[in-house]
Amino acid sequence: MSTDATEALERSAVPWLFATALVTTAPHVLHQPNWLSALTGLILLLAGGLWWRNAQPPRRWQLVPLVVGACVGIFVEYRTLFGRDAGVGMLLVFMALKLLELKGKRDAVVVVTLGYFLLLTHYFYSQSIPTGLWLLAAVVVVTATLIRLHGGPASTPPATLRYAALLTVQAIPFMVVLYLLFPRISGPLWGLPQDAHAGQSGLSEQMTIGDIANLALNGDIAFRVRFDGPLPDRQKLYWRGPVMEAFDGTTWRPLTGKRAAERIELLSPPLTYETTLEANQQRWLLALDAPAPLPAEFALNGTLTATARQPVTQRQRFRLSGSPDYRFNVDEDPQILLRNLALPPDLNPRSRALAASWREAPPKQIVQNALDLFAGQEFAYTLQPPLLGANGIDDFLFQTRRGFCEHYAAAFVVLMRAAGVPARVVGGYQGGEANPVDGYLVIRQSDAHAWAEVWLENEGWVRVDPTFVVAPARLESGIANALPAGEPLPGLVQVRAEWLRGLRYRWEALNNAWNQQVLGYNPQRQRELLSRLGLSDTDWRGLVTLLGAACLALLLLITGWTLYHRRSDDPARRLWLRALRRLTRRKVNCPPWETPLALLRRLETECPELAVPFAEVAEAYLAARYGQLPGDLKILRAAIARLP
């Protein structure tokens, strides 16, 4: 008996294995270091060359240096062999090396299994619609390879691909049923490697001047929001991130340490909304200011920033509410107020001198003085501010006068503190773009913003946005309109052509639907679906039973579809039936049980004018159906054509 293990691999099946290797490894070029992609490509080329020259595969020991070299390289690159990226790198190298040592059919089956496995690893990096489609096509190619391996040379490439596509299409119902009904477990099952969620950018926990300007070049979506009611005024959409109170001359950082809970007084009814937050590796939820009332699973951190218990490492959906008009901490801890007056000594003397001259005025007047300063003089809003020296605020206020939102926020807070008004910088996002297709408000990284908060007697912390004074358009219609022409911006943000923007809205709405409906299908959605099906109190056992029943029904259905086959599929018989229909039209009764020759004999007596042409038909049919050379239908077809 021959098994896969001993069976030799046909030479003509090897190109299929290369196709498998290519479709499963190629997209990783985008994520793996260049040297690793080059190494993988070189090994594949080498293996292809060996196949082309029909040469012997290299011996095991000859491959050892390659394996060791690749492992060392991966270790140097990632400092581990087992993380997410390192693991994928190892799999890529193994895939390429396996093609160098193809001997039997078993090696080929290993290549295919590895190929299926590699397909999964692409989802670490992207789960978008194009990735999904590409991988569906890749599944067809890998499956075709498997079919070719077992079908032998009789399995021609087009037929093999068609068969693989048919199998994949038949597998899709199983996928849908399993996707909906398989008991979902929220991962992770155990600690993920360090780099599990690497490579996702966003607002950071501290602010150095220039950070947000960099972020403004990033058109990625930070989060999407859908309000239950109508969309509020754009100028009120402040999405609150970290509050930064410590300043060392260059960088703003949040203060650490325990704080008393916020005392919030809501002045307008809360707006409820659902937010879908992309992974940002931070705990803050970027909730609408002020985030109250807050659901129980979240908390405020003492500076009115809503936070989750765990960093947001993957796309998540929450229901939140926020009140744009509020009073916050009217009685603030004096210790905190003191810390919000601290400035690094010896830095920015000119700013401090200017602010000191305002000290006698009431705090509201001081705030107005600073805003007037920004409004009156030649201050410009730009993404490309000149470099600032050690006394950054002085340089900005008195020399360059060109800056982005963080310049204005930081300068404003420094002036306030120097004038004796407690103030701090707040990071977050401002505004957003409403997608008319699905009604979602889309907030991008380019909507990142920094503003200031000052503490006033009897009013608590009050938001002041100095950018509004310099570039009112920034708040009214977004960054693209606030910046002077010629400033670099991410392609998607600066698009002004109507039709292109419509296309973009459509594409993003499609992506959003994909994210919400397909990727966002989680245990909670599963429960909702079951309760809609009338199975609200189903535990996992019920779910498994339901799943089993559904799969069994599908299996029977597909078995029936596959095995069903009509008896009259014989082409000669089909033609014969056509001839009988012709006779019926000529008022000849043709019972189905009559044999061709009996029918002919009856015709000879009943209607002799038909008997002569019909004799040819009967003879051709008998020859085609039962003769020595079955399948020759031309004569039969011609004879039927001659029937009157």
Instruction: Please say which residue, 187 or 486, places its beta carbon nearer to another protein.
Output: 187
Segment contacting another protein (CB under 8 A): 264-272, 466-474, 556-564, 600-608? Answer: 556-564
Task: Report, in Å, the least distance between residue 457 CB and another protein.
Answer: 49
Restricting to residues 61-100, name those near another protein by CB under 8 A.
84
**Residue 577 near residue 568, CB atoms below 8 Å:** yes
From the CB of 313, what's the least distance to another protein, in Å?
9
Q: Are 612 and 642 in contact (CB under 8 A)?
A: no
d(Cα 434, Cα 178) in Å, to the nearest integer?
35
The 251-253 sheet, strands edge to edge: 207-208, 251-253, 246-247
Q: Is 147 in the site for another protein (CB under 8 A)?
A: yes
For another protein, the closer of residues 35 and 182 by Cβ is 182
Residue 20: CB atoms within 10 Å: 26
Exactly one of 85, 405, 407, 438 is catalytic; name it. 405
Active-site residue 405, yes or no?
A: yes
Around Cβ 260, how many Cβ atoms within 10 Å? Answer: 11
Q: In 3-state terms, what secondary structure has residue 353?
A: helix
**Distance of closest approach, residue 555 Cβ to another protein, in angstroms:** 6
3-state secondary structure of 465: coil
- Min separation Cβ 140 and another protein, Å: 10
1 belongs to the binding site for another protein (CB under 8 A): yes
Closer to another protein by CB, 28 or 417: give it.
28
Contact status: 26 vs another protein (CB under 8 A): no
- With CB under 8 A as the contact rule, the residue among 518, 553, 597, 638 that binds another protein is 518
Minimum distance from residue 279 beta carbon to another protein (Å): 10
Q: Closest separation between CB of residue 253 and another protein, Å?
A: 31
**Does 553 contact another protein by CB under 8 A?**
no
Give 533 or 555: the residue with its C-beta nearer to another protein: 555
Name the burial class of residue 547, with classes exposed (0-12), middle (13-18) and buried (19+) by CB atoms within 10 angstroms of its CB: middle
- The residue range among 70-78, 140-148, 239-247, 496-504 that interacts with another protein, by the rule CB under 8 A, is 140-148
Whichever of 488 and 548 has its CB closer to another protein, that residue is 548
Q: Which of 123, 386, 524, 589 binds another protein (CB under 8 A)?
A: 123
| Residue spans of alpha helices (H) in 26-128 | 34-52, 60-78, 84-98, 105-121
Q: Which of 46, 167, 266, 544 binds another protein (CB under 8 A)?
A: 167
182 in contact with another protein (CB under 8 A):
yes
Which amino acid belongs to residue 460? G
**Touching another protein, residues 299-318 (CB under 8 A):** 314
Nearer to another protein, 78 or 247 (CB): 78
- C-alpha 239/C-alpha 448 separation (Å) is 9
Is residue 570 part of the contact set for another protein (CB under 8 A)?
yes
Applying CB under 8 A, among 81, 172, 353, 390 the residue interacting with another protein is 172
Please give the angle made by the CA atoms of 289, 290 and 295, to the nearest 5 degrees.
115
Minimum CB distance to another protein, residue 545 (Å): 18
CB of 172 to another protein, least distance (A): 7
194 vs 562 by CB, closer to another protein: 562
**Known catalytic residue: 150?**
no
Nearer to another protein, 94 or 116 (CB): 116
Under the criterion CB under 8 A, does residue 130 sit at the interface with another protein? no
**Between 232 and 571, CB nearer to another protein:** 571
Please say if 71 is a catalytic residue: no
b (16+ CB within 10 A) / e for 212-244: bbebbebeebbbbbbbeeeebebebbbbbbbbb
Rounded Cα distance between 415 and 595, Å, is: 108
Q: How many CA atoms lie within 13 A of 323 on its CB side?
A: 15
Does position 155 bind another protein by CB under 8 A? yes
Contact status: 55 vs another protein (CB under 8 A): no
Q: What is the dihedral of CA 604, 605, 606, 609, to 10 degrees?
A: 40
The separation between CA 197 and the C-alpha centre of its own chain, rounded to angstroms, equals 13
569 binds another protein (CB under 8 A): yes
**Range in contact with another protein (rule: CB under 8 A) among 242-250, 448-456, 518-526, 604-612:** 518-526
Q: Residue 30, interface with another protein (CB under 8 A)?
A: no
The amino acid sitting at 181 is: L
Nearer to another protein by Cβ, of 501 and 525: the residue is: 525
Closer residue to another protein (CB): 35 or 179: 179
Rule CB under 8 A: is residue 529 a binding residue for another protein?
Answer: no
Task: Give residues 417-456 in contact with another protein (rule: CB under 8 A).
Answer: none
**What one-character-per-residue DSSP string does 545-611 give?**
HHHHHHHHHHHHHHHHHHH---GGG-HHHHHHHHHHHHHHHTT----TT--HHHHHHHHHHH-HHHH
- Beta strands 380-381 and 402-403, pairing class: parallel
Distances in Å between the alpha carbon of 366 and those of 219, 310, 392, 398, 422? 37, 40, 21, 18, 11
627: contact with another protein by CB under 8 A: no
DSSP letters for 96-120: HHHGGG--BHHHHHHHHHHHHHHHH
Helix 105-121 with 14-25: angle, nearest 10 deg: 20
Map the footprint of another protein across residues 196-235, applying CB under 8 A. Answer: 196
CA distance 74 to 87: 9
113 contributes a contact to another protein by CB under 8 A: yes
Q: Which H or E run contains 438?
A: none
Q: What is the 3-state secondary structure (H, E, C) of 177-216?
A: HHHHHCCCCCCCCCCCCCCCCCCCCCCCCCEECCHHHHHC
Contact between 604 and another protein (CB under 8 A)?
Answer: no
Other CB atoms within 10 A of residue 330 CB: 15
Residue selected from 390, 555, 598, 612 as contacting another protein according to rule CB under 8 A: 555
Residue from 33, 249, 520, 627 in contact with another protein (CB under 8 A) = 520
Distance of alpha carbon 212 from alpha carbon 312, whole angstroms: 20
Binding piece for another protein, criterion CB under 8 A, among 70-78, 144-152, 261-269, 403-411: 144-152
- Residues found near another protein in the complex (CB under 8 A): 1-5, 84, 106, 109-110, 113, 116-117, 119-120, 123-124, 127, 131-132, 135-136, 139, 143, 146-147, 149-152, 154-155, 159, 163, 167-168, 170-175, 178-179, 182, 185-190, 192, 196, 314, 518-521, 551, 555, 558-559, 562-563, 565, 569-571, 631
Task: Give the catalytic positions in this structure.
Answer: 405, 449, 465
